[in-house]
Amino acid sequence: MPAVSKGDGMRGLAVFISDIRNCKSKEAEIKRINKELANIRSKFKGDKLLFIFLLGHDIDFGHMEAVNLLSSNKYTEKQIGYLFISVLVNSNSELIRLINNAIKNDLSSRNPTFMCLALHCIANVGSREMAEAFASEIPRILVAGDTMDSVKQSAALCLLRLYKTSPDLVLMGEWTSRVVHLLNDQHMGVVTAAISLITCLSQKNPMSSRPCVFSLQIVSSASTDLQDYTYYFVPAPWLSCKLLRLLQCRLVECLETILNKAQEPPKSKKVQHSNAKNAILFEAISLIIHYDSEPNLLVRACNQLGQFLQHRETNLRYLALESMCTLASSEFSHEAVKTHIETVINALKTERDVSVRQRAADLLYAMCDRSNAKQIVAEMLSYLETADYSIREEMVLKVAILAEKYAVDYSWYVDTILNLIRIAGDYVSEEVWYRVIQIVINRDDVQGYAAKTVFEALQAPACHENMVKVGGYILGEFGNLIAGDPRSSPLVQFNLLHSKFHLCSVPTRALLLSAYIKFINLFPETKVTIQEVLRCDSQIRNSDVELQQRAVEYLKLSSIASTDVLATVLEEMPPFPERESSILAKLKKKKGPGAVSVTELDDSKREAGELNGGGERAAETASTPSPSADLLGIRSSAPMSAAPAAAGSLLVDVFSEVGPAAPAAAAAAVNNDVNPILLFLVTFKLALSLSRFVCKNNGVLFENQLLQIGIKSEYRQNLGRMYLFYGNKTSVQFASFSTTRLCSLTLCPQLNVQSKPVEPLVEGGAQIQQVLNIECLTDFSDAPLLNIKFRYGGALQNLTLKLPVTINKFFQPTEMASQDFFQRWKQLSQPQQEAQKIFKANHGMDTEVIKAKLLGLGSALLDNVDPNPENYVCAGVIQTKGQQVGCLLRLEPNAQAQMYRLTLRCSKESVSKRLCELLSEQF
């Protein structure tokens, strides 16, 4: 019990608390509280009210009374008032102004205790209004010579809080440099508090200070006048270099000392001793990993962690596994990490704590490469049989990815995935079984094996529905490859599949029906049996529309169509276009960014390239976005011929200009990272987004879970200005944010793009802006690329975007009468001046939409020119620095055929072509 005796007020509270504790039931407690509330209302008691609130009951009165307590002369009342405000008052309360007044009084009271109370209150509430009121006052208190140490400490941290909530209100000034001197303070408490503030300030203002480099700060800050030591406006360059080098070797030395100390015998048996010592060690190791340049230190760190892997403290084993995960991604220490594989596998098997086992699984995933993939995958599979439900899905994804990434022979891959479905079918998501089908279809050397294995797997008495799906799909495509064996003759295959039919859900049944119709094509001898099945009431009169429709259509198809037609309709699936493994995307979505390390992704590009049989084709697909390319992988091209219309419209939705939802959906599926495969997908998507910006200047250029990039642009003559808005969607800051423009060699002499560097830090939830100035020198067809790099949670993010700068942006509209138009039209009659394209409408042929798009293009839309009122004609001049290119355009829609004919005639051949390409994607 505290040494001080309590006053009357306190005794009342103690009685009340005892009463509450003596309450036998919730009802009794509520009754007692209501009585007390009535009591308090009549005679305000802040402390009791506070206790009630802290018990979890809502308090909707008393705020005003608490504010009055702030200005009390009695210390106890003031203290309770402040505590009440800190705990109860939201940052947006209307009382803030009154509270601010009281705080102001206390801050200027010169009484250190009152000042501290006031500072604590500001830090606890930390609202914008408070920042407005005190942001200039607190720095003064902080650096004033006569401020007490305790007040300094509070002021430093209070300022930190204000700076974090409203950085714009905390103005840097003369005090910033004086704050740095707090680090030299004799009082360790002041140093501790100040270092938090300085670290934060220096992260955000490279100018202000770098705590580790005090002296360097003096030479690198522009504000300090070093007189004759300033060499051509560079403050003391020689000294700076020396200092940096000193820092570098001091750092290595310091890290080595810490690693050495770890080997010394402990000075105390207390866990606090080892915790504090190891806290420093882990911090040093994370610094070593961060620098990633000292192989010697990295390996030593790895060995140290290796010792911890066998430590009897669970906490240390946990942390060692966690740190080793990041070490595994460094090329210097990857091999060293791999030497611990047996220990880690053992941890996965024997640890009692599920969170430690999870770290072990993460580490196995991180240390996996071609040399140990088989062992690791086998271990993970066997662990999966007993794994905790909470981590099964993630484990399944990881196994699927490793199997795909490091597959040397495909039979191993197929075996692994089928095993996965067998062991943990419930946790195998669509992405996983889609992927195995994609790969089997694209690789003809594995198809026979896959058919055989899946046939065997289906013979198990109880097999998972996902297995039936994979089985149905693969046998439907490649059942013929094993039909030679009498044990797996066509009818046996069919009967096997059909024996599972009634146990399956509707989507699986639908898939099986498609497999059956494929069987009719593959094996004409099964036709009668299958038609029988389709004809039976439970199919053809099924209450589910989809199943009924399939049964009816397939039945008709099989009885009407000739063998040739059937063979064409039910032909083997063409190879899938290559794309990022959807599984990887899913894992990343699940784990959040940063979970998949950089090297790993590089790696996976290489491997996946092999696995998918040629990145070349991938590149082709990337450059020509066809409207049939789908995001969902298999679904729309699967043999579900019954629903092409639905799939089609889905695609239109995804790619049409439905606003930010579209890129968001696409981004959700890909989550960009440094993975080049992803990059390909992103560029592919961006080719689409580029076309979204042909007819408009503003909108969302890109969006994923981390980052949103908005764009606003304006053009005049041959000049343009583009505003890019980078928004951080997370709550964590992006560090080392930078952008680089990449112009291809051909583009450089055509387009001149200038920009200033962006802020290197983007706070969580914040947005920064970048302005690009664009000058069109001559006509062009490429788009400039913008590369964006930043660190998010330690992982480097890298992203390349196409900037939507297209030639039509430099259009000047030209109004002209019908006569003039056709006269000029005839003048531009050389065949190479004309570009024409006839294409199918991708969107609805709504007049207003077409008009809006043509206007957005930048040229003048001319009414009453074309004799046919259905047609649209436009005229304009493209302004480049070197020349002006006159352009005439005619768009003839044919509503009946849902087709357009687009004709362009320009005074320059290349412009006609480019405009024709750009425009034909718009309608």
Partner 1 sequence: MMRFLLLFSRQGKLRLQKWYTPLSEREKKKIIRDMTTMVLARQPRTCNFLHWKDLKIIYKRYASLYFCLGVESEENELLGLEVIHRYVELLDKYFGNVCELDIIFNFEKAYFILDEFLMSGEIQETSKQTINRCIENSDMLQELSY
The residue from 83, 368, 395, 520 that contacts partner 1 (CB under 8 A) is 83
CB of 544 to partner 1, least distance (A): 39
Stretch binding partner 1 (CB under 8 A), from 93-101, 351-359, 569-577, 657-665: 351-359
Stretch binding partner 1 (CB under 8 A), from 71-79, 135-143, 334-342, 374-382: 71-79
Which secondary-structure segment (H or E) carries 771?
strand 767-776
| Residue 676 CB-density burial (10 A; 0-12 exposed, 13-18 middle, 19+ buried) | buried
| Residues 886, 907 contacting (CB under 8 angstroms) | yes
For residue 126, state whether it binds partner 1 (rule: CB under 8 A).
yes
Contact residues for 376 (Cβ-Cβ < 8 A; gap 6+): 341, 345, 364, 365, 367, 368, 402
Residues 355-374 that bind partner 1 (CB under 8 A): 355-356
Nearest to 611 by CA among 677, 670, 667: 677
CB nearer partner 1, residue 188 or residue 545: 188
CB of 74 to partner 1, least distance (A): 4
Task: Give, as one character, the DSSP assignment of residue 601.
Answer: H
For residue 289, state whether it binds partner 1 (rule: CB under 8 A).
no
The residue from 793, 813, 856, 886 that contacts partner 1 (CB under 8 A) is 793
> What span, in angstroms and rounded, lies between the C-alpha atoms of 531 and 535?
6
For residue 22, state whether it binds partner 1 (rule: CB under 8 A).
no
CB nearer partner 1, residue 117 or residue 654: 117
> What span, in angstroms and rounded, lies between the C-alpha atoms of 493 and 555?
20
Stretch binding partner 1 (CB under 8 A), from 122-130, 219-227, 247-255, 892-900: 122-130
Residues 602-661 that bind partner 1 (CB under 8 A): none
Tokens matching residue 165: 């909530």
Stretch binding partner 1 (CB under 8 A), from 113-121, 499-507, 571-579, 813-821: 113-121
CB of 80 to partner 1, least distance (A): 7
Alpha helices in 656-777 (DSSP H): 661-670, 676-692
> What span, in angstroms and rounded, lies between the C-alpha atoms of 259 and 251?
12
> What span, in angstroms and rounded, lies between the C-alpha atoms of 162 and 123?
7
Stretch binding partner 1 (CB under 8 A), from 178-186, 353-361, 896-904, 913-921: 353-361
The residue from 27, 43, 56, 831 that contacts partner 1 (CB under 8 A) is 56
User: How many residues sit in the footprint of partner 1 (CB under 8 A)?
Assistant: 66
For residue 278, state whether it binds partner 1 (rule: CB under 8 A).
yes
> What span, in angstroms and rounded, lies between the C-alpha atoms of 330 and 314?
25
Phi-psi region of 770 (alpha: psi -120 to 50; beta: other; left: phi over 0): beta
For residue 444, state whether it binds partner 1 (rule: CB under 8 A).
no
Tokens matching residue 599: 């090297």
CB nearer partner 1, residue 3 or residue 745: 3
| Residues 806, 747 contacting (CB under 8 angstroms) | no
The residue from 33, 40, 49, 50 that contacts partner 1 (CB under 8 A) is 50
Contact residues for 312 (Cβ-Cβ < 8 A; gap 6+): none
Cα distances from 592 to residues 706, 750, 820, in angstroms, run 9, 40, 60
> What span, in angstroms and rounded, lies between the C-alpha atoms of 553 and 706?
46
Tokens matching residue 564: 């040739």
Torsion of the alpha carbons at 126, 127, 128 and 131, rounded to the nearest 10: -30
How many CB atoms within 10 Å of residue 459? 12
Specify the long-range contacts of residues 135-142, CB closer than 8 Å, at least 24 apart: 135/162, 135/166, 135/169, 135/170, 135/171, 136/171, 137/104, 137/107, 138/162, 139/170, 139/173, 139/175, 139/179, 140/175, 141/107, 141/115, 142/175, 142/179, 142/182
| Residues 695, 850 contacting (CB under 8 angstroms) | no
CB nearer partner 1, residue 329 or residue 604: 329
The residue from 105, 109, 248, 275 that contacts partner 1 (CB under 8 A) is 275
The residue from 22, 109, 184, 192 that contacts partner 1 (CB under 8 A) is 192
Strand, helix or coil at 762?
strand
> What span, in angstroms and rounded, lies between the C-alpha atoms of 778 and 785?
18
Stretch binding partner 1 (CB under 8 A), from 13-21, 172-180, 372-380, 653-661: 13-21
Sketch the per residue contact string, 150 through 189, with partner 1: x for CB under 8 A, - otherwise.
x--xx--xx-xx--xx----------------------xx
Sketch the per residue contact string, 727 through 756, with partner 1: x for CB under 8 A, - otherwise.
---xxx------------------------
For residue 592, state whether it binds partner 1 (rule: CB under 8 A).
yes
| Residues 207, 173 contacting (CB under 8 angstroms) | no
Sketch the per residue contact string, 296 through 325, with partner 1: x for CB under 8 A, - otherwise.
------------------xx-xxx------
CB of 397 to partner 1, least distance (A): 17
CB nearer partner 1, residue 209 or residue 581: 209
Stretch binding partner 1 (CB under 8 A), from 43-51, 371-379, 524-532, 600-608: 43-51
> What span, in angstroms and rounded, lies between the C-alpha atoms of 157 and 153?
6
> What span, in angstroms and rounded, lies between the C-alpha atoms of 580 and 672?
10
Contact residues for 19 (Cβ-Cβ < 8 A; gap 6+): 32
CB of 262 to partner 1, least distance (A): 13
The residue from 105, 184, 196, 350 that contacts partner 1 (CB under 8 A) is 196
| Residues 749, 779 contacting (CB under 8 angstroms) | no
CB nearer partner 1, residue 163 or residue 433: 163
For residue 7, state whether it binds partner 1 (rule: CB under 8 A).
yes
CB nearer partner 1, residue 311 or residue 422: 311
Strand, helix or coil at 446?
helix
Neighbouring-strand partners of residue 770: 724
For residue 76, state whether it binds partner 1 (rule: CB under 8 A).
yes
CB of 614 to partner 1, least distance (A): 39
For residue 123, state whether it binds partner 1 (rule: CB under 8 A).
yes
| Residues 170, 135 contacting (CB under 8 angstroms) | yes
The residue from 34, 109, 283, 847 that contacts partner 1 (CB under 8 A) is 283
The 10 Å CB-count burial string (b at 16+, else e) for 39-48 is ebeeebbbbb
Nearest to 242 by CA among 211, 209, 219: 219
CB of 83 to partner 1, least distance (A): 6
For residue 209, state whether it binds partner 1 (rule: CB under 8 A).
no
Annotated binding site: 11-12, 43
CB nearer partner 1, residue 316 or residue 373: 316
- Positions touching partner 1 (CB under 8 A) are 1-4, 7, 14, 17, 21, 47, 50-51, 54-56, 73-76, 79-80, 83, 87, 90-91, 113, 116, 120, 123, 126-127, 150, 153-154, 157-158, 160-161, 164-165, 188-189, 192-193, 196, 272, 275-276, 278-279, 282-283, 314-315, 317-319, 352-356, 592, 730-732, 793
